Amino acid sequence: MTFVAQATTIPVYGFKVVKRYPHDTSAFTEGLFYKDGVLYESTGEAGQSRVRKVDLETGKSLQEINVPPAFFGEGIVAWGKHLIQLTWQHQIGFIYDLKTLKRVGTFHYKGQGWALTRNDTHIFMSDGSPTIRVLDPDTLKVVRTITVTADGQPVQNVNELEWVKGQLYANIWLKDIIARIDPKTGHVVGWINLENLFDNAMLPDPTDDVLNGIAYDAKHDRLFVTGKCWPWLYEIKLTAPH
């Protein structure tokens, strides 16, 4: 679905592609982050969900583990020695050893699980609503919430999250846009219009195979985006708003 900018004071950023990398077209991307030279990816679909470490240059899986087949894998984040993963509708998350990807625990939450990201002090969780939960990283309990709004209106379908230079970046499910969110107020302070990045109409299931996946390499200031079952992961630079 294309992004149509309405009358708004919120700036809309463009992009330019710096480089593109191969992406596994069987990966129904739900969670993505970059750490220590490696991409970590969580994929969805019950019976097909995986957590994997991926080589950026080749798109090949370096290491992976299957999610139990009853569960639909969702967002992931690293904290300490662990990788934490949500599932969609079962209200249960999995905890893995970050190095081995061995499952070492579970945790519970109310409602749906969509995405995770972090800053230096907290973990942020989306559930498809305008509400982002702020979690204590040690207990994974909610300590506060953020309501995402644009021009005073709640923003629905807040999906995959990434922390970028003090802002929350969020895919909006079924739209070719990323919201730049002020984590203190929840206000959308910028839109990134990605409608011309990739034509998912060429994919077998364009309705579902939408933009979803943001990763940021803070050390080298590289922003990566992809979509569910897309053949490419893109490194992009933002261009001035218009």
pLDDT digits (tens, 9 = 90+) for 189-198: 999 999 999 8
- Residue 3: pLDDT band (50, 70, 90) is very low
Is 65 within 8 Å of 53 (Cβ atoms)? no
Which pLDDT does position 9 carry in this prediction? Answer: 87
**Angle ∠(55,236,9) on CA atoms, nearest 5:** 140
pLDDT digits over 102-139, tens only? Answer: 999 999 999 999 999 999 999 999 999 999 999 999 99
Q: What is the DSSP letter of 156?
A: P
Segment 25-44 shows an average pLDDT of: 94
- Rounded Cα distance between 180 and 178, Å, is 7
pTM of structure? 0.93
Q: How confident is the model at residue 6 (pLDDT cuts 50, 70, 90)?
A: low
pLDDT of residue 166 exceeding 90, the answer is yes
Asked if 88 and 47 touch (Cβ cutoff 8 Å), the reply is no
pLDDT tens across 215-228, in order?
999 999 999 999 99
CA distance 212 to 161: 9
Helix (H, G, I), strand (E, B) or coil at 202: helix
Q: How far apart are CA 212 and CA 150, in angstroms?
A: 20
In angstroms, the CA 150 to CA 239 distance is: 21
